[in-house]
Amino acid sequence: MKIGVIIPIINDRFINGLLDCIDKNSVLPESIIVIDNSKDDDKITIRKMRFRVEIYRPPTPLGVNASWNHGINELIKKDVDLVSVLNDDLLLENLFFEKMIRLASLHEEAGVFCPTTVKKPSMIHCGPMGSGICTGMHKREGWAWTIQKSVAKKIPPIPDLLKTFCGDDWYWHHCYKLGRPWMKMSNTLCYHFVGVSKDGIGLKNEKAILQNLL
């Protein structure tokens, strides 16, 4: 199986740390698309690594959901089986993609796979490959999720009415409508720096819009 990666950049403070983690992985993604939403005078530069990065710089910065729409649309055209959507503020273990591909091949009934998020960067380690354990999830996690391309092709783009929030909820609901649940991977680890946005008003408004759209 082959995997492609989308990384929307909203805050470029952490992106090089994430790219370093990808560079150290035992299996490299087939394609990596970075969507650079930083300001004109602060566009990112990426040093040479073991992989090639496609950088998309929109005419005006995109929100998270529009970035996901663009990246997913581009990756489903490519020769990949899995589409991994990663926040720019993540650290990954060195077997992240190898384990993702292995578990996805063992659980073809699933739609989306999420790693286990640890509480400290020092807790990231590479445990044995093993068979891993995948369990059904009770709520979505939007900072690191990997969808089967065959499932992504059946889900409509996130509507423009959802500007910032609820894009992961959109995929969550459509996956379950298709009978393809989200699953948690016990032996695949990441660390997330920032966490949930504090813009509670925007989140509440877009949750209401989402309910009307579904």
Q: Do residues 170 and 210 lie in contact, with contact meaning Cβ atoms separated by under 8 Å? A: yes
Q: What is the CATH number of the domain that holds 137?
A: 3.90.550.10
Most confident of 53-57, 84-88, 127-131: 84-88
Reported confidence tier of residue 99, pLDDT bands at 50, 70, 90: very high
Entry pTM = 0.92
Separation between Cα atoms, residue 22 and residue 51, nearest integer Å: 9
Q: Do residues 76 and 7 lie in contact, with contact meaning Cβ atoms separated by under 8 Å? A: no
Tell me the residue range of the domain where 112 lies.
3-213
pLDDT (tens digit per residue) in 67-92: 999 999 999 999 999 999 999 999 99
Reported confidence tier of residue 196, pLDDT bands at 50, 70, 90: very low
What is the predicted pLDDT for the residue at 60? 87
Q: What are residue 84's phi and psi, to 5 degrees?
A: -100, 125
What is the predicted pLDDT for the residue at 130? 64
Separation between Cα atoms, residue 66 and residue 163, nearest integer Å: 7
- Give the three-class secondary structure for 42: helix
Q: Do residues 111 and 181 lie in contact, with contact meaning Cβ atoms separated by under 8 Å? A: yes
pLDDT (tens digit per residue) in 139-176: 999 999 999 999 999 999 999 999 889 999 999 999 99
Instruction: Give 38 or 159, the one with higher predicted confidence.
Output: 159
Query: How many structural domains is the chain composed of?
Result: 1
- Alpha carbon of 53 to those of 5, 50, 65, 85, 169: distances in Å? 10, 10, 21, 15, 28
